[in-house]
Amino acid sequence: MFKISFFAVFSILALQWSTLSIAKGVYLEPELFIEQVFSNNPPKPDKVWITKKIKADVYKILGHDLGVIRLRYWNDDSKRAWILEEIGRDKPITVGLVTANGKIKQINVLIFRESRGWEVKYPFFTDQYKQASLVEGNQLDRNIDGISGATLSVNAMTKLARLALYLDAHVSKQ
Amino acid sequence: MFSIIHKWHKRFGVFVAVFVILLVISGIALNHSQQIKLNTNYIQAEWILDLYQINPSKEPLGFKTSDTWVSQVGERVYFNESEIAKGVNELIGSIFINEFYVVAFDGQLTLLTQAGEKVEHLTGVEGVPAGMKSIGYDEQDNIIIKAAHGFYQVNLDVLEWNEYDYLDANWITASPIPAQLKSNLLKQYRGSGLTIERVLLDLHSGRIVGSWGVYVVDLAAIIFLMLALTGVWMWWKRR
């Protein structure tokens, strides 16, 4: 009985440790993400300038300035890819997004640096954003179900989805 | 028996009162750390910073470019006295070219306006070569980068990275940082290195006074348990 209990406790502790050790890190190099999105033939990046109008809208979406005055993105005839960052709790989460026709086509967590909230990388969560578009006030057209203990990471992901769609719409108008 | 336990219950109660106050205040504060911004506000008291030995692990490194200084203090990079990057291993250098400052570090380039406003941040995904060793410029004011696998002539406007076996350039080298700037940067570095949340966490666990502090808090916790047990026992006896 003691042996079984000891084994059970040890297994749980080992699982906890291994879960923490895989929680943060580089899940997919941004270079590989872009190559995958464009089938190993990525276009040269384009740039979008963050004008005063965009800056004000971005502030409303993120709750803070973007911190740069131009952003690069990758664009072919059918889709655009964005690599954006937002802080979850203390550190930035690097996210790759693909937009097409004003909708989210793909969203991947590329680099996660925090110790909690990494569950946002899983498809059961990211699939919620697929085909999401913007409605009035630059809000998503749907509610995103949160994850217990990962609220700030979820918020960061939603902000980046809104930002990518906003920038996509801006670039489309140009 | 009852009177002995009652006496020790009171004595221990007085002894741990200060721990109760400390743990309650720090615990409530930590529970609301985000809302009261304990994780984004930093300790400025020199004696606490000294206690934590908040100092850069190596001597600050500076590059003079035009009239400005780009410096690395610890893992942070500063444009004059404004922080522009953190988590940096090695600052490679900085040049002023085509109205922009270009700062190179850790396989990344940051472009800044003359006023120090960040234009953009480029990494490997935009083509910045891996293993950057030096940054410089040639006679035609092209940016030249020496990296692990060769030399690159760079056009940052259209993001062209032309690779060569060898390129000659005016390579940027580090210079001694003026004493006043260095002192200000060190002060700023220390003042942004330790959050209030970190100190409260260490206070709550006892770790702030070293590993033995944890055992003191453990002892206090065991006394809390004994007080709870003896309190219930005495209440039960008097009932």
Query: Do both B178 and B75 map to the same domain?
Result: yes
Asked if residue B65 and residue B35 are part of one domain, the reply reads no
Checking if the pLDDT of A67 tops 50, the result is yes
Tell me how many degrees the CA angle A63-A64-A65 measures, rounded to the nearest 5: 140
Q: Is the pLDDT of residue A22 over 70?
A: no
Under an 8 A CB cutoff, do A30 and B34 touch? no
Region label for B89, one of left (φ > 0), alpha (ψ between -120 and 50) or beta (otherwise): alpha
Q: How much is the average pLDDT of B148-176?
A: 93
- A71 → closest Cβ in B34, B113, B120: B120
- B120 interface with A at CB cutoff 8 Å: yes
- Do B77 and B117 lie in one domain? The reply is yes
Q: Which residues of B touch A152 (CB under 8 A)?
A: 34
The answer to whether position A16 is within a domain reads no
Model confidence at A13: pLDDT above 60: no
* Sheet-wide strand order for B61-65: B61-65, B68-73, B76-79, B82-86
**pLDDT on residue A16:** 53
- Phi first, then psi: give them for residue B49, nearest 5 degrees: -65, -35
Mutate to test the interface with A, among B35, B38, B125, B161 (most CBs of A within 10 A): B125
Q: What is the mean pLDDT of chain A?
A: 89
For residues B128-147, average pLDDT = 94
B8 shares its domain with B90:
no
Q: Can you tell me the mean pLDDT for B1-10?
A: 86
Q: What is the pLDDT, as a whole number, of residue A11?
A: 54
Q: Per-residue confidence at B1, pLDDT binned at 50, 70, 90?
A: confident
Decide if A92 touches B, using CB distance below 8 A.
Answer: no
Closest residue of chain B to A90, computed from CA coordinates: B39
Domains held by chain B: number: 2
Q: Which residues of A touch B123 (CB under 8 A)?
A: 30
Tally Cβ neighbours within 10 Å of residue A139: 13
Please check whether residue B23 is in contact with residue B204, taking contact to mean a CB–CB distance below 8 angstroms: yes
CB–CB of B134/B172 below 8 Å? yes
Considering the domain architecture, whether residues B125 and B157 belong to the same structural domain is answered as: yes
Structural domain including B26 reads: 2-41+196-238
Query: Would A9 be classed as within a structural domain?
Result: no
pLDDT value, residue B67:
85
pTM: 0.80
Distance in angstroms (rounded) separating the CA atoms of residues B165 and A130: 45
Give me the pLDDT at residue A3, please: 52
| Residue B56 included in any domain | no
The answer to the question of residue A167 being in a domain is yes
- For residue A8, the model assigns a pLDDT of 53
Residues B106 and B176 in one domain: yes
A47 in a domain, yes or no?
A: yes
Domain hosting residue A82, numbered range: 25-173
Stated as kind and residue range, the H or E segment containing A129 is: none
B35 and B99 share one domain: no
Query: Would you state the pLDDT for residue A1?
Result: 47
- Rg of chain A taking only CA atoms, in angstroms: 18
In a shared domain, residues B91 and B144: yes
Of the pLDDT bands very low, low, confident and very high (cuts 50, 70, 90), residue A2 is very low
Q: What are phi and psi of B25, to 5 degrees?
A: -65, -50
Q: What is the average per-residue pLDDT within B31-54?
A: 92
Chain B residue with Cα closest to A44: B159
Asked if A60 and A123 touch (Cβ cutoff 8 Å), the reply is no
The nearest CA of chain A is from the CA of B143 a distance in Å of 19
Adjacent-strand bridge partners of A134: A140
Q: Is the pLDDT of residue B107 over 60?
A: yes
**Residue A99 to chain B, least CA–CA distance (Å):** 18
Q: Is residue A7 part of a domain?
A: no
Average pLDDT in the B15-26 region?
93
What is the rounded average pLDDT for all residues in chain B?
Answer: 93
Q: What is the pLDDT of residues A73-110, one digit of tens each?
A: 999 989 999 999 999 988 899 999 999 999 999 999 99
In this structure, the answer to whether residues B30 and B134 fall within a common structural domain is: no
- The count of domains in chain A is 1
Claim to verify: residue B154 and residue B140 sit in the same structural domain: yes
Kindly state whether B14 is in contact with chain A, defined as any CB-CB distance less than 8 angstroms: no
What pLDDT was estimated at residue B239? 77
pLDDT reported for residue B168: 92
DSSP letter, residue A161? H
Beta strand pairing call for B100-105 and B91-97: antiparallel
Could A72 and B122 be called an inter-chain contact, meaning their C-beta atoms sit closer than 8 Å? yes
Co-location of B75 and B177 in the same domain: yes
Instruction: Give the model's pLDDT for residue B66.
Output: 80
pLDDT above 70 covers a percentage of chain A that reads: 87
DSSP secondary structure code for residue A90 in this structure: S
Average pLDDT over residues A6-19: 51
> Of residues B111 and A20, which shows the higher confidence score?
B111
In a domain, A121, yes or no: yes
Q: Which residue of A has its CA nearest to B33?
A: A89
CATH code for position B184: 2.130.10.10
Is residue A12 in some structural domain? no
- pLDDT value of residue B153: 95
Tell me the chain B residues in contact with residue A72 when contact means C-beta distances shorter than 8 Å. Answer: 120, 122, 126, 159
Which is more confidently placed, A7 or A113?
A113
- B74 in the same domain as B34: no
The answer to the question of residue B97 being in a domain is yes
Q: Of A1-5, A120-124, B58-62, B196-200, which gets the smallest average pLDDT?
A: A1-5
